[in-house]
Chain A
Amino acid sequence: MKQSTRSLVIAIVVLLFVPVVLLQSWIDPRRKQFEPVQDKMSAIGRALPIEFTLGAATGFREAVAGLLWVRTDKFFHEGNYDAILPMVRIITWLDPHNVDVYQTGAWHLDYNFTDQAQRSDRRYLPVSISLLEEGIKNNPTTTKLYADLAFTHYFRKMCNYPESVRWYTKAQALKEIDPKAPISVDPDTGLSNHYVISKETGKPRPLADPTIVGHGLAHSLAASGDVDGAIKQWEHCIVEHKRLMVESPSTKSQDESGLHVATKNLHEAVMRKQFRVADTKPPVDFKFKGRLVRTAPMQFKVEGSANVIGATEFILEGHKVKWGPIDGARVSYRLEDADFKQPTHVPFELNVALDHKVTIMQDSASITKGKFSRAVSMADDHVGKNAMYSFTAKKYKFTFWIDPCDPSSAPPNLQDRTGWIGEGMTDSKYMDLSGIVPGSLQGPEDKRKVRLIKKIIYLTRDDIMGTGEKTFE
């Protein structure tokens, strides 16, 4: 090669680096869409064997995450629940779009850490909520996680219905948008809307499943006392089901079934709204009695009575109703450290920062023929590294309560008499108008003015650990 040709080739090589740098500058910000989380690599490196870390660092993140998920499944079947949490943490760091892992991880935190009597370890709930909120931040257009957070945590576990409404509403508000729409930033998630741009051009349309999200929102609205909101939501669901029956033939049977349910629930909600105004007056005095009998150290009998009046017969059409004592209502109870404050946010880290000194026990008992009685033993879960009931505090608070909004505690035939938020319910001794449901996370201001029956008994550590039978009232 001549020297002049050689010089020319060198010049071309140097010049070609200019487009390389320009192209790389264009690629860099867009590459983040494909590799969402990279700032956790050092933590991953400390937690994983070198071959996994190397694989994750060299572009095989999803494959490594998949293999770790297989390993996690094995841990689950072996019953090694503690090993699952770090795996879920690493997998969601490696592949923050794996929605299944967030869902399964949150379910695991909610339900699989239990005492001998299968009562959930509620210290994990804020961690689980953090995991789902993180999942939502990383997958803002996937309605599944919003629905899980709204249903599992607020509607079922926390009984914080306004929060449930908030998350369902967010899910329902998700829409595919025109790809040509200008980029904006969602103030809640801090993410730009390029994540929600549809691959298909055309009109904006909802992403939410009207059965899972739509019906869930209607139930949450009713549970939070917003019956007008619930009625509007059932109407919205009917419109959505009808639209999807035309637009989406593959889910037609599901939407037909959803339409049937929504129509029935709308009909019932409209009538109940009309009847409950009069039916809830005058309020029923529940004459609640609750006591705690210590039978042995850390073993109690929770017992009491309540005048639970509801509809023994009710034909909505024509408003034919017969009131009387009913079964099926439940009284909830919770033992916790007297100074315990429910944390609103516990980050889901590689090692979950659980306060093992905190004691929380929560359960419920069925009220049958006006009485309830249930044995509670915490003795088997007192010792050990991960003991649920360490009883290290000096003072404890034991709370009984009846939540008129909770569908699992107050069935519809009870609510027909007690009302949407307990307006037809009173108690000469234990009526509570604070609106605070024990164990609930602090959500937005609770405007529904829910009326609870709530009785609190304070105990000392000696009361719990003492021997011999003793009654606390």
Chain B
Amino acid sequence: MSTILTLASGTFGEAMRRKILNVFLFVAIAMIVLFFAFASFTPSSDLTITMATGLGIISIAGVFISVILGINLIPNEIDKRTIYTILSKPVKRHEFLIGKFLGGLATVFVNIVLMGALFMIGVIVFKDPTHSLKHFDILQGIVMIFFQMMLLNALAVMFSVFTSPFVNFFLSFAVYIMGSMSSVTEALGEDSSNGKRSIVIQWIFKGIHFLVPNFANFNVQNPIIHPEVIIRDMTKYMATNILYAVIYSTIMLLIAILIFDRREV
């Protein structure tokens, strides 16, 4: 366990020294602009647009950070041949992989926390002086973004053990887009076309729907942006999705371990 933590800590330190923080800087600037950009709207509209766009910016930045980090974690070590030094020590391959993943995840976590904190402070100071918003709800949205990114990071790490970063970049994004269209795959998997869609096609889409990671599960922004929308079992829904993210990420890592174990480095 200490080996994994050491590797995670090293990966985290290295990742934070990279230009990844520049993304945070960019997001911070974008948000500050955002807080003043919609002043011509009515206060409720202004807050709605700020919230929607702000959470969107955090989410988009999170996607890029997760994918770019995830696709490079393993190939970088191989390209720089540092992996030889590491694996020559008493470090098992699965420990190396888990350590790298956790280090990357910690980086994603810190970035999302920084962006989220900046966003919450901005909203409270600039947009919600009367404190009509429930700030805990914003936090819920940010937490869900983090778990969505955890899943995406695990996916990118899994692909990174057998593809080049270039291929992985497009592959991860393709799966992310597909997984974000859960409603579409779910609808195509149901027999709602009065028998026009063949049962084979339905089952293919059903398979895609259940086996491709469903990133859309984590998009809970709507009731946060519109506080009057009332959602049943929000806590249970969030807890289930977090469990889903943890289990699915574990599956990704186990597959990565199986492939990485047989890979020649």
A binds B: yes
| B181 contacts partner chain A, Cβ-Cβ < 8 Å | yes
List B residues 191-236 near A (Cβ within 8 Å).
209-211, 214-223, 225-226, 228-233
With A6-B261, A31-B183, A95-B222 as given contacts, are A66 and B230 in contact (CB-CB < 8 Å)? no
Report B-chain residues with C-beta under 8 Å of the C-beta of A25. 210
CB atoms of B210 and A194 under 8 A apart? no
| Chain A residues positioned under 8 Å from B177 (CB to CB) | 54, 57-58
Chain B interface, >50% SS class: helix
Q: Are B240 and A16 in contact (CB under 8 A)?
A: no
The interface bits of chain B over 45-56 (1 if a CB of A lies within 8 angstroms of the residue's CB, else 0) are 100111111011
Contact A59 B215 (CB under 8 A): yes
Encoded as 1 (CB less than 8 Å from any A CB) or 0, chain B from 230 to 249 comes to 11110001001101100110
Residue from the list B52, B60, B251, B258 in contact with A62, Cβ < 8 A = B52
Tell me if B76 is interfacial: C-beta within 8 Å of chain A: no
Interface bin, chain A: 35 or more
Q: Distance (Å) between the CB of A432 and the closest chain B CB? A: 42
Q: Which of A27, A35, A62 contacts B241 (CB 8 A)?
A: A27
Interface residue SS majority, chain A: helix
Q: Mark B101-129 against chain A: 1 for CB-CB distance below 8 A, else 0.
A: 00000000000000000000000000000
Report how far A141 CA is from B45 CA in the complex, Å: 19
Q: How far is the CA of A41 from the CA of B50 in the complex (A)?
A: 24
Min Cβ gap A205→B in Å is 14
B171 to chain A minimum Cβ distance, whole angstroms, is: 15
B87 interface contact, C-beta 8 A: no
- Kindly identify which residue among A24, A55, A62, A64 contacts B210, using a CB–CB cutoff of 8 Å: A24
Do residues B232 and A197 form an inter-chain contact, with CB atoms below 8 A?
yes
A13 within 8 A of B: yes
Report the minimum CB–CB distance from B177 to chain A (whole Å). 5
Given A9-B254, A58-B177, A59-B215: A27 in contact with B244 (beta carbons within 8 A): yes
The reply to whether A23 and B187 contact each other, CB–CB distance below 8 Å, is no
On whether the beta carbons of B219 and A19 are closer than 8 Å, the reply is: no
Q: Which of A6, A21, A69, A198 contacts B230 (CB 8 A)?
A: A198
B11 beta carbon closer than 8 Å to chain A: no
A142 at the interface (CB under 8 A from B): yes
Chain B residues within 8 Å of A65, by CB:
52
Determine whether the beta carbon of B214 is less than 8 Å from that of A24. Answer: yes
Q: How far is the CA of A63 from the CA of B60 in the complex (A)?
A: 11
B50 to chain A, nearest CB (A): 8
A195 contacts the other chain (CB 8 A): yes
Task: Give the nearest-CB partner of A23 in chain B.
Answer: B244
Contact B222 A73 (CB under 8 A): no
Contact with B along A100-137 (1 / 0, CB 8 A): 10000000000000000000000000000000000000
* Chain A residues within 8 Å of B, Cβ to Cβ: 1, 6, 9-10, 12-13, 16-17, 19-21, 23-28, 30-36, 38-39, 41, 54-55, 57-67, 69-70, 73, 95, 97-100, 139, 141-142, 179, 194-199
Name 26 interchain pairs, CB-CB below 8 A, sorted by A.
A10-B258, A16-B250, A16-B254, A28-B186, A31-B182, A34-B220, A35-B183, A35-B222, A57-B180, A58-B177, A58-B180, A58-B181, A61-B219, A62-B225, A63-B52, A63-B56, A63-B59, A66-B48, A66-B53, A67-B49, A70-B37, A97-B223, A97-B226, A98-B226, A99-B226, A197-B230
Q: Given known contacts A27-B240, A66-B49, A99-B226, what 17 new A-B pairs fall within 8 Å (CB)?
A: A25-B210, A27-B214, A31-B182, A32-B183, A33-B229, A35-B222, A38-B187, A55-B56, A57-B177, A59-B180, A59-B216, A62-B55, A62-B225, A63-B53, A69-B49, A97-B223, A179-B232
